Chain A
């Protein structure tokens, strides 16, 4: 059997690759699949650590993560895509695949340097300890570079995955109550985003022209 550190590193690699894919994909459908896969990998890590540490609260969190992040939220997002076909693809993003992929790698490297200077010394020296922090900044990058509301929601989901990932590695899972609040928080954000996007499509977004001025 592989040592725990190897399993953590392999799952971390999978999570990192999904982050790279999320940055460079312009179709929203595959993005939903990718964020579900990333959440599944986080859930697998939680389940594995629950098994290794014999911790029932981590097992419960893994189950919650699968139910909410892998099944429920992607289901809601897919329904939203079906309802608004025009949102299926983020126009313009397909021209920037190369730059998005390279930006994702650059952000990963910068995140690692920041981690080494700030959080790294205070945390246990685990292999792949920087991955959650890298994932957090990748989510931020997605939020800042994309214009499609649903894709931005996925950037937020990626950040939340980073928080749970960090909790799994360093805190042995946060206290269960906090984790449940985070899961419900994510669900709430998705529902609010869906309602806002429906509202925008029905009554329009008067502030849009002002926001467009900020795109540079």
Chain B
């Protein structure tokens, strides 16, 4: 591995680590503006993180070691994903060949699983309720994710995100193929579900509709800080994959070089801002409905993902 590649590799991981709170801060600010209020400062997630890391960590009596280990395992999983997907370069970095879309999905699944187990290990009824709700809806989201992988695979003949990025960026016909458009739509709906942006749930702590935050009720201090950071990294990674691989694959500088990588980071931030704006628009314009309506939402996403395969069989990719 040459030094430039190593630097770009480290830079990509650092981008995800350091810019993910910023993206969350921007999203919070934009959401505030769409709700006719000032909203928190853009740097608020960094302040929160600093506060969590200074706070004392309390461990419930009777909890297992998993309660302590889970935030670190999930953090490691997201860190691995950050060096295997195209974020600041379309050129495959050294570890890119270790996993494909399915492998990435399994790593996301691992992070989600240990977070759930940690919620159960806390021994609280509230965290168990959060875990139960999350599992109920994840069970509907996972088939959609698998169908999206199939959709990508039939377009490109492979399950590698770098190949997908290259094909879609170079072929406008493939980009405009009905299969790809449906995969983008299904992935966007799933993105909303996975990042807690559904108009059916609340990301706060005081609502019956909470899903994600219900799982971390038992954690505090540094462990809670890590969980929060994990959530921001997950959002950053999913948004990055969505824009760089599926929705807006164009514009990234091809060569593996430091200036090219920095240019790509600026471009990525622009693309992410666009997605954050769209998501904020979705959150602001759709009325909040009941919790069990998530089932309908995910069924629609699943239907679109299946249709993408169906349309491929009927029409094919140009």
Chain B residue contacts of A17, Cβ below 8 A: 307
Residues 290-318 of B, flagged 1 when their CB comes within 8 A of A and 0 if not, give 00000110011011101100110111101
Closest beta carbon of chain B to A14's beta carbon, Å: 9
Q: A1-30: which residues lie under 8 A (CB-CB) from chain B? A: 2-3, 5-6, 9-10, 12-13, 16-17, 20, 24
Assuming the A-B contacts A6-B173, A97-B299, are A109 and B310 also in contact, with contact meaning beta carbons closer than 8 angstroms in the complex? yes
Closest beta carbon of chain B to A96's beta carbon, Å: 9
Contact (Cβ within 8 A) A112 B296 = no
Q: B35-57: which residues lie under 8 A (CB-CB) from chain A? A: none
Interface residue from A5, A24, A101 paired with B318 (Cβ < 8 Å): A5
Contact (Cβ within 8 A) A6 B176 = yes
Cα–Cα distance between A46 and B177 once the two chains are bound (Å) = 21
Chain A residue contacts of B299, Cβ below 8 A: 97-99, 101-102
Chain B residue contacts of A5, Cβ below 8 A: 318
Contact (Cβ within 8 A) B303 A130 = no
Cα–Cα distance between A10 and B182 once the two chains are bound (Å) = 11
Cα–Cα distance between A101 and B296 once the two chains are bound (Å) = 9
- A108 contacts partner chain B, Cβ-Cβ < 8 Å: yes
Chain B residue contacts of A141, Cβ below 8 A: none
Residues 190-214 of A, flagged 1 when their CB comes within 8 A of B and 0 if not, give 0000000000000000000000000
Cα–Cα distance between A9 and B317 once the two chains are bound (Å) = 10
Contact (Cβ within 8 A) B181 A13 = yes
Assuming the A-B contacts A105-B303, A128-B315, are A13 and B182 also in contact, with contact meaning beta carbons closer than 8 angstroms in the complex? yes
- A104 contacts partner chain B, Cβ-Cβ < 8 Å: yes
Contact (Cβ within 8 A) B315 A9 = yes
- B199 contacts partner chain A, Cβ-Cβ < 8 Å: no
Contact (Cβ within 8 A) B300 A24 = yes
Chain B residue contacts of A188, Cβ below 8 A: none
- B178 contacts partner chain A, Cβ-Cβ < 8 Å: yes
Contact (Cβ within 8 A) B310 A105 = yes
- A156 contacts partner chain B, Cβ-Cβ < 8 Å: no
Chain A residue contacts of B315, Cβ below 8 A: 9, 12-13, 127-128
Contact (Cβ within 8 A) B176 A112 = no
Q: Is the interface of A mostly helix, strand, loop or mixed?
A: helix
Closest beta carbon of chain A to B281's beta carbon, Å: 19
Contact (Cβ within 8 A) B307 A105 = yes
Residue of A nearest to B295 (CB): A98
Contact (Cβ within 8 A) B178 A105 = no
Chain A residue contacts of B306, Cβ below 8 A: 105, 109
Contact (Cβ within 8 A) A112 B303 = no
Contact (Cβ within 8 A) A112 B318 = no
Assuming the A-B contacts A98-B299, A101-B299, A102-B303, are A112 and B310 also in contact, with contact meaning beta carbons closer than 8 angstroms in the complex? yes
Interface residue from A3, A24, A105, A131 paired with B314 (Cβ < 8 Å): A131
Contact (Cβ within 8 A) B307 A20 = yes
Contact (Cβ within 8 A) A128 B314 = yes
Chain A residue contacts of B307, Cβ below 8 A: 16-17, 20, 105, 108
Residues 176-188 of A, flagged 1 when their CB comes within 8 A of B and 0 if not, give 0000000000000
Contact (Cβ within 8 A) A9 B178 = yes
Most A C-beta atoms less than 10 A away, residue of B306, B310, B311, B314: B314
Closest beta carbon of chain A to B312's beta carbon, Å: 11
B residues touching A (Cβ–Cβ < 8 Å)? 173, 176-178, 181-182, 295-296, 299-300, 302-304, 306-307, 310-311, 313-316, 318
For the A-B complex with A13-B178, A134-B314 known, give 20 more contacts whose Cβ atoms are closer than 8 Å.
A2-B173, A6-B173, A9-B178, A10-B178, A12-B178, A12-B315, A13-B181, A13-B182, A13-B315, A17-B307, A20-B303, A97-B300, A98-B300, A104-B303, A105-B303, A108-B310, A109-B310, A112-B310, A112-B314, A127-B315
